[in-house]
Each structure stands twice: as C-alpha cells, then as structure tokens.
Amino acid sequence: MSGFLDKNKQRFLDELFDLLRIPSVSADPAFKDDVLKTAEFLKEKLIAAGAENVELCPTDGYPILYGDKIIDPALPTVLVYGHYDVQPPDPLDLWDSGPFEPVIKKTDIHPEGAIFARGACDDKGQVYMHFKAFEGMLAEDRLPCNVKFMIEGEEEVGSENLAPFLSANKEKLACDVILVSDTSVIANDCPSITVGLRGLSYVEVEVTGPNRDLHSGVFGGAVANPINILAKMIASLQDENNRITIPGFYDDVAVVSAEERKMMNDAPFNLKTYENDLEIGSVHGEEGFTTIERTSIRPTLDCNGIWGGYIGEGAKTVLPSKAYAKISMRLVPNQSSDKITELFKKHFESLAPDSVKVEVKPHHGGEAAVTPTDTPEYKAAHMAMEKSYGKAPIPARGGGSIPIVALFEEVLGVKTVLMGFGLDSDDIHSPNEHYGVFNYFKGIETIPYFFEYYAELKK
Ligand code: BES
Ligand code: MN
Ligand code: MN
C-alpha cells in the first residue's frame, strides 16, 4: 500500500480538494443542492474505487450512500460509516481563507501542512481516506475481507433518518464490525483509539414576558425582562462547584473505576499548553475532576446560543417580549437522553417566576457509548496503528458525540471501532477547520493494516 500511496499522493489530495469545494451544509436548506451534489460526487468516487452495488438510498432527508465489495461471503465483513455533511461555516469573517476553498498551510502542530476547509477533518477528509485505502487494497489485490460503506448526510443535524434506515435494512447492512474514522488521536506522536463517546440532550428554550416589546423607560422596573430572567435561570443551572443543579441529573451517571481514571490522567496532557492555546487564564469545570475527566467521563451543560431584544447597530431602549437560548447537555454512560431532557424541562419550567412563561422544546439527542478493548476489532486497530505510527496507541475517551454508535449496537447488535485520525486542535465546527496532510496520509496507510489484522484475528 505504501507504494500505491506514494505514487498517488497528489491525486489523493486533488480529489479531496474537489470534495471539500462542495458546501454540504446539512443544517441550512439553502445548501440543499450542494449536499445532494456531494452525495453524487462520492457515489462516483466509490464506483471508481471499485465498489459494487453503489447507490444513493433515499431517506426522508438526505440520501445515504451505500456500496460494497463482497469477495467471499464466508469472510468477515467490515462496515465503514462516516458522514459527508458538514457544519455551517459561520462566522465567515473569522476564516483566514474561504471555508470551501481548500488550501494547504503550515502550522506549528502541522509542520508538513494542513488542509484548511470546512469538513477537512470532520468528516470528509476522514471518509475519503477510506475510499482511497479501499482503492489501494483493490488495486494491489490485497483486500482480505468484505467491505460495506454507509456514508450519511445528516450526522451534523442528529442523524434522524438513520435509525429507520438501519431497522429497514438489517440484511443489507449485516456485518461483523463497524469502522468509523470521525474522532481524533491525542497527538501525531501519541496515537490513540477512541473508546468512549458522550451522549447528548439538546433543547431550545423560549421565555416570554409581556405580550409585546415595551419602552424600557416607560415600563422598565415594573415588568419582568425575559432576557434578565433567562440569564438568571441559566446561571442557576450550575452551582458554585460547577455541578449541574437539575434534580436527578447525576443519578444514573456511571462511576468510572479509579484504575481507569488513573490511566486517563496518565495520558500525555499539558494543562498550561491547553490554557495558552485557548488564551484562557485558567480552565473551568466540575470540582473534583481533572480537565481530561471533565471532557470525557463527566456530563456537562452548556448554553450554545442566546438571543432576544435589540442586537443591531447603536442603542435601542426596549424591554423585549421574548428571549431564547439553545442549551446542550453532554451525557455519559447510563444516562438516558430522553430522561435527561424530561428532567431539564421539568426543572427549567419550575424555575420560571410568575412574571414570565417558559417553553422548552427538545431537539435531537443521542446516547453515550463505550467500546470494549478486548475485541478482535480493537486489537486490529491497535496493531494497525502500532505498525503505521511505530508506536502503540493508547485507549482514550472522546468528549464529542456520534449517536449512531449506540444505535448500531442496539439495532444491528454490532460493535464499533473508533479509529479516527484528527487532532482536537483541528478546529472542527469552528472557523479555520483543518486536517493535517500527515494525518490524511497516515489514515490511508493505517486502514489497510486494520483490514489485514482484523481478517487474520477473525480466522
Ligand atoms: N465527529 C464529531 C464527533 C466527535 C468529534 C467525536 C471529535 C469525538 C471527537 C461529530 O461530527 C459531531 O460533531 N457530532 C455532534 C453530535 C450531533 C448529534 C450533532 C457533536 O458532538 O456535537
Ligand atoms: Mn463528525
Ligand atoms: Mn461534527
């Protein structure tokens, strides 16, 4: 493979650039044609790479790209999952170059250069590594087992149409393991395999004061301002130890063993570098837990957006009728997304004084997942990374969410291995998202080893 990779590096970059130029923003209907174009683009590339039965499967939302290569039904089957949709690029003015005009630039962390574009790391770059690794394995006649691809276009908006697709296509998707590259490694000289993801409960809240906007001089002082009230309500959701105050919130939180906590905290991490990189005076979080723990094994509550009243140029004196916020809670194993949403709703409504009305609207959610390390797939990923990085990877829990991982297990009864190649500093979901050229090629190099070792271990 390394021969094939070496000979094709420029083409692999060029093709990824073409993919990154299509703005597949799933959250915004204005990009609908581009999201569909991206699905078509990948369909053609999957066919060109040598996959069979390639089709865009319609859903109530964006289509799911399917393709496979069954070399022998008696051999194990790996299903590769990823997503072709991306987050909205805004705020646009904070990008140093166009979000859909990929360029390679060197950075301190990526001295060999990184590809700057929305989706470069999350997840187009990582999906495309799989296409090219597959192409290489076929070209060199060394595909050791069966492969299926399932690439969706709604991951960034909650994968709502994926669950019904899984239930309706169990046969088609039957496999021995699911392989996902949509997470990160600790550092390029410290490979790791993600063994946990957090769940998510996401809500929007609306606080209504008076029935219309009012003059803040004529009425101010006598009528509740929904923005002031909302700010107080949100602030009260965490106590002085930064613990969440919703009754019952922590009831089901899985306790992590002292042994696992020690292992997590032994992984390379420098608090000063972390603070300096983010230009913060100090980190902030739940008392009694380290930064690594706070971002992986502990649940959180964050306001993602808050608005209301006048936000235009200059000053307008107004006591607004409404205020809004979007609030997310990251969940950990054993917490149920639906239950937490219910607890939030009940508590938030109870916080509202008589002077306002409160409405809580649930958005998408998902369950946390932990992936075992005593399986052939984990071992295969371990061996593959050890071979390509020249260093054994360590298990590490991630703080993000990929709700489909828990669903895969529930609906298909199949385990997932999370072998991602990004870095947490790659600015996914943020302006100037990038993906190391080193990481892209390292993924293409590592994936065939995974297939090789997995097929061997399953014998
Ligand atoms: N690839 C990310 C999740 C991720 C990133 C996991 C880094 C671990 C490390 C994924 O595309 C994502 O952003 N998921 C969303 C959840 C979804 C329901 C919107 C998230 O975590 O916010
Ligand atoms: Mn992703
Ligand atoms: Mn994402």
**Mind giving me the DSSP string for 311-363?**
-SSS----B-SEEEEEEEEEE-TT--HHHHHHHHHHHHHHH--TTSEEEEEEE
Q: pTM (2 decimals)?
A: 0.95
User: pLDDT tens, 97-143?
Assistant: 999 999 999 999 999 999 999 999 999 999 999 999 999 999 999 99
Instruction: Name the domain boundary from 366, 386, 411.
Output: 366
Write the CB contacts of 459 (distance below 8 Å, at least 6 apart in sequence). Answer: none
Instruction: Name the domain boundary from 311, 345, 366.
Output: 366
For 189, which DSSP code?
T
Domain co-membership, 70 together with 157? yes
Residue range 255-269: average pLDDT?
95
Candidates 81, 185, 200, 401: which one to mutate for ligand 1, based on the most atoms within 8 Å of Cβ? 401
For 26, which DSSP code?
T
Residue 189 has pLDDT above 70, yes or no: yes
Question: Side-chain half-sphere of 9: how many Cα atoms within 13 Å?
Answer: 11
Q: How far apart are CA 259 and CA 249, in angstroms?
A: 25
- The verdict on residue 263 lying in a domain is no
Residue range 327-347: average pLDDT?
98
Domain co-membership, 450 together with 392? yes
Amino acid residing at 428: I
- The verdict on residue 306 lying in a domain is yes
Domain co-membership, 156 together with 203? no
Q: Which pLDDT score, from 0 to 100, does residue 364 have?
A: 85
- How much of the chain exceeds pLDDT 70, in percent? 100
- The verdict on residue 39 lying in a domain is yes
Residue 48 has pLDDT above 80, yes or no: yes
Domain co-membership, 90 together with 174? yes
Q: How far apart are CA 104 and CA 111, in angstroms?
A: 11
- Name the domain count of the chain: 2
Candidates 118, 123, 154, 155: which one to mutate for ligand 1, based on the most atoms within 8 Å of Cβ? 155
Q: Is the CB of 387 under 6 A from ligand 1?
A: no
Domain co-membership, 159 together with 216? no
Distance 75 CA to ligand 3 centre (A): 33
Instruction: Name the domain boundary from 314, 345, 366.
Output: 366
Q: Is the CB of 401 under 6 A from ligand 1?
A: yes
Residues catalogued as catalytic: 85, 155
Q: Is the CB of 201 under 6 A from ligand 1?
A: no
User: pLDDT tens, 127-186?
Assistant: 999 999 999 999 999 999 999 999 999 999 999 999 999 999 999 999 999 999 999 999
Domain co-membership, 144 together with 64? yes
Candidates 151, 152, 182: which one to mutate for ligand 1, based on the most atoms within 8 Å of Cβ? 182
Residue with tokens 């965490």, as numbered in its chain: 238
Distance 401 CA to ligand 1 centre (A): 4
Domain co-membership, 38 together with 100? yes
Residue 254 has pLDDT above 70, yes or no: yes
- The verdict on residue 287 lying in a domain is no
CA distances from 454 to 449, 457, 458 (A): 8, 5, 6
For 451, which DSSP code?
H
Q: Is the CB of 102 under 6 A from ligand 1?
A: no
- Rg of the chain taking only CA atoms, in angstroms: 23
Peptide bond into 123 cis (omega under 30): yes
- The verdict on residue 389 lying in a domain is yes
Distance 338 CA to ligand 2 centre (A): 22
Q: Is the CB of 122 under 6 A from ligand 1?
A: yes
Residue nearest to atom 9 of ligand 1 (CA): 183
DSSP for 279-317 reads: T-SS----TT--HHHHTTTS-EEEEEEEEES--SSS---
Q: Which strand (E) or helix (H) includes residue 39?
A: helix 32-49
- The verdict on residue 272 lying in a domain is no
Question: Side-chain half-sphere of 17: how many Cα atoms within 13 Å?
Answer: 14
- The verdict on residue 268 lying in a domain is no
Domain co-membership, 398 together with 313? no
- The verdict on residue 46 lying in a domain is yes
Distance 393 CA to ligand 1 centre (A): 21
Domain co-membership, 94 together with 228? no
| Helices 2-20/437-457 angle, 10° precision | 120
Distance 92 CA to ligand 2 centre (A): 20
CB atoms within 10 A of CB 416: 23
- Here the CATH number for the domain that contains residue 90 is 3.40.630.10
Domain co-membership, 215 together with 316? yes
User: pLDDT tens, 353-365?
Assistant: 999 999 999 998 9
Distance 418 CA to ligand 1 centre (A): 12
User: pLDDT tens, 277-316?
Assistant: 999 999 999 999 999 999 999 999 999 999 999 999 999 9
Which ligand does the CA of 418 lie closest to?
1
Domain coverage including residue 109: 2-197+368-457
User: pLDDT tens, 190-235?
Assistant: 999 999 999 999 999 999 999 999 999 999 999 999 999 999 999 9
Domain co-membership, 353 together with 374? no
DSSP for 210-272 reads: SSS-B-TTTTBTTB--HHHHHHHHHHTTB-TTS-B-STTTTTTPPPPPHHHHHHHHHS---HH
Residue 1 has pLDDT above 80, yes or no: no
Domain co-membership, 66 together with 188? yes
Residue with tokens 């239950």, as numbered in its chain: 339
Residue nearest to atom 15 of ligand 1 (CA): 401
- Here the CATH number for the domain that contains residue 328 is 3.30.70.360
